[in-house]
Structure 1
Amino acid sequence: MVIAVLVTSVAAFVVSAAWYTGFGPVWARLSPAGAAARPSPWRLGAEFARTVVLVVAFALLARAVGVDGVAGALGLALLVWAGFPVVVLAGSVLHERVPVPLAALHAGDWLVKIAVVAVVLGAWQ
């Protein structure tokens, strides 16, 4: 399981990095923090650690509810995505005046990332 977690974490980290690289100009336009964000070793390490936590949590949840295979993992990923990051991001729009396009940008990253996690872990089984 350790190898699966590491491989999945690397894949999700790379996809997320590609997301924000591709949407970097949009992110910079929508957010002062996005405009100021610069990769640094500690940020990359922290982001990779966050990704490992996501992968481990997803793997344990999938095991606990008896999900196996890519299709089941993708279904769980969609449920997790809608139930957690989307709800949190909607709260930031409602209560903190985060612009909807910025929340949507982050929600898109979460959707792609959790889908990659589901596909890699689901295929690993």
Structure 2
Amino acid sequence: MLAQVADDFLPEPMSHGPEPGHIVMDINLLSVLVAAVVAFIASAGWYAALGDAMVRHQRAWRGAEPAEAPRASQMLVFLGVAVAVSLAVAVVLDLAGVDEWLAGAGWGLLLWAGFVLTQWVSATAGEDVPVPLAAIHAGDWLVRLVAAGAIIGAWP
């Protein structure tokens, strides 16, 4: 029954494997890796530019002291997250049949609005996260998702 619901929900054009209900993904892994590296670099630049403001808002909110510069192990985790997010964007774009950069960027914006923006709005309302701090983090994810969508969409 779940397979029938999935078949009814998923849009065309989709490639089905030799057996009904099996989906064949057409994802360019090089585009995923490039999008991940671009997102990683863009995020590093974002926080380099806004890091002082972020620290100021964290101190005012919860008295947090600034973290030391990220260690190599943390940077590998951040890069892994960028790869995972880029792969998820690629799956969504493939399922939607996106094959050009502007549509990919639009899907990135939609994913950001549906998941990231709503998370930070909830955090400001429910956990008293300062709006400027939430905006810094949400802006980082906006750049990441729109860039990943544009790169992957342009490079199917």
Give the TM-score, by structure 1 length. Answer: 0.93
The one of 90, 115, 125 aligned to 1:59: 90
Unaligned runs of 5+ in 2: 1-27
Question: Which residue in 2 is equivalent to 1:86?
Answer: 117
- Structure-2 separation of matches of 1:36 and 1:92: 21
Cα pair distance change 1:47/1:74, threshold 3 Å: same
Kindly indicate whether structure 1 or structure 2 has the higher relative contact order, using CA contacts under 8 Å at least 6 residues apart.
1
Q: How many residues align?
A: 125
How far is the alpha carbon of 1:2 from its aligned partner? 2.2
Amino acid at match of 2:113: A
- Structure-2 separation of matches of 1:43 and 1:15: 16
The one of 41, 47, 50 aligned to 2:78: 47
| 1:18 matched to 2:45 | yes
How far is the alpha carbon of 1:37 from its aligned partner? 4.4
The one of 146, 150, 156 aligned to 1:115: 146
| 1:95 matched to 2:126 | yes
More helix by share: 1
How far is the alpha carbon of 1:91 from its aligned partner? 1.1
The percentage of aligned residue pairs carrying the same residue is 37
- Structure-2 separation of matches of 1:110 and 1:87: 12
Partner SS, residue 66 of structure 2: helix
How far is the alpha carbon of 1:21 from its aligned partner? 0.4
Partner SS, residue 97 of structure 1: coil
Tell me which structure has the larger Cα radius of gyration.
2
| 1:69 matched to 2:100 | yes
Give the TM-score, by structure 2 length. Answer: 0.76
Unaligned runs of 5+ in 1: none
Displaced runs of 4 or more, over 3 A: none
- Structure-2 separation of matches of 1:37 and 1:122: 36
- Structure-2 separation of matches of 1:37 and 1:120: 32
Cα pair distance change 1:37/1:27, threshold 3 Å: farther
